[in-house]
Amino acid sequence: MEKIRLGIVGLGGIAQIIHLPILSKMNGVEISAVCDNDSQKCKRIAAKYGIKKFFKNSSDMLSDCQDMHAVIIATQTNAHKQIALECLDAKKDVLIEKPIARTYKEAKDIIDSAKKNKQKVMVAMNNRFRNDMMMQRTFTKAKEIGEVFYVKTGWVKPQSSNQKWMFEKEKAGGGVFLDNGIAMLDLGMWLLSFPDVKSVSATNYFHNTKSVEDSSIAMVKFKNSTVLTIEASWSLLRDGELFYCNVYGKEGSSSINPFKIYKRMDGSLYNITPKKIAMPSNVFKKSYEYELQHFVGAVRGNHNIISSGEDALKVMEVVDAVYKSAKTGKEVIFK
């Protein structure tokens, strides 16, 4: 079986902690090249993982490594669009770390290019690949809890990174909502199978930041009367990390962290959570392993992409509305 040859652009924390360690051990995968504007770091990391080629810019990498099948883009967000377009024009599939871009328009440019070049785009929403989230979606899709009318999500945690660019709106596109809130928005819309949006309202706070928000609360109403709420914060004063996704149906509910399923039967509420659930010791790391395995399989042509560029486009339309609502103090109505 031919190895899938990958390039990685951007060697920050996510590449060093997740992509490189996982991909370097994955069967059927070869990391052909790495790229970062810090040439010394790039050279050092290439040597550490036995990667033969390293570059300071993506154009040189694509020109030199024409036999690569795909590229992982893990740069700061403002560079996503340009690099993605270069890769797609070079006939490479791409995996883009979340968010796909700063705005809906940038995301659409990427997806339009993918269609024109007939290439695959996947956005790295690793939480979809958590064991508990996959089980929760299975129960929801099977209507075990009846018709869903409310999904309540949230992610409250310290800042993912102290890199300066993450606090600059021009480079990051936004703050905690684009860092953590977008992951919960994606999960909620995915659980609901992406129904048509009716309206979005949001409030952002700048307690410890100036250019980008450090807390955000958003509500998305869908045309089928379902409601999704998202709570995201770097600055809520509480102990520890809070990651939740609660789904409420007319006949029961489900939740994760821990995974629970409750169902009403004969007028009483029962805990129907499967008793023997094999959960990995590190759910977070395992979700990335599943995600990267899925991307490699999709590049190989084994299956369609989960967390596609088209899904990301629907999510980014809501993201734009979140920021518009927070800025104007008004609900944004979708046509």
- Say if strands 29-35 and 252-255 run parallel, antiparallel, or are unpaired: unpaired
The angle at the Cα of 215, spanning 202 to 326, to the nearest 5 degrees, equals 25
- Say if strands 29-35 and 4-9 run parallel, antiparallel, or are unpaired: parallel
Kindly provide the residue ranges of all beta strands, DSSP E only, lying in the chain, ordered along the sequence. 4-9, 29-35, 53-55, 70-73, 93-97, 121-124, 148-156, 197-205, 215-222, 227-233, 242-249, 252-255, 260-265, 268-271, 332-333
Q: Mean per-residue pLDDT for 48-59?
A: 96
Question: What per-residue confidence (pLDDT) applies to 276?
Answer: 78
Q: How many CA atoms lie within 13 A of 243 on its CB side?
A: 17
Q: Which helix (H) or strand (E) holds 176?
A: helix 176-176
Band (196; pLDDT cuts 50, 70, 90) = very high
Q: 4-124 and 128-283+315-333: same fold? A: no
Count the residues in the chain. 335
Q: What residue spans define the domains of the chain?
A: 4-124, 128-283+315-333
Band (173; pLDDT cuts 50, 70, 90) = very high
CATH topology of domain 128-283+315-333: Dihydrodipicolinate Reductase; domain 2 (3.30.360)
Q: Mean per-residue pLDDT for 28-49?
A: 97
The angle at the Cα of 232, spanning 331 to 181, to the nearest 5 degrees, equals 75
Band (248; pLDDT cuts 50, 70, 90) = very high
Condensed to tens digits (0 to 9), the pLDDT of residues 273-317 reads 988 777 767 888 899 999 999 999 999 999 999 999 999 999 999
Classified as helix, coil or strand, 273 is coil
Q: Mean per-residue pLDDT for 144-160?
A: 94
- Rounded Cα distance between 72 and 121, Å, is 10
Q: CATH top-level class for 4-124? A: alpha beta
Rounded to 5 degrees, φ, ψ at 149 are -125, -10
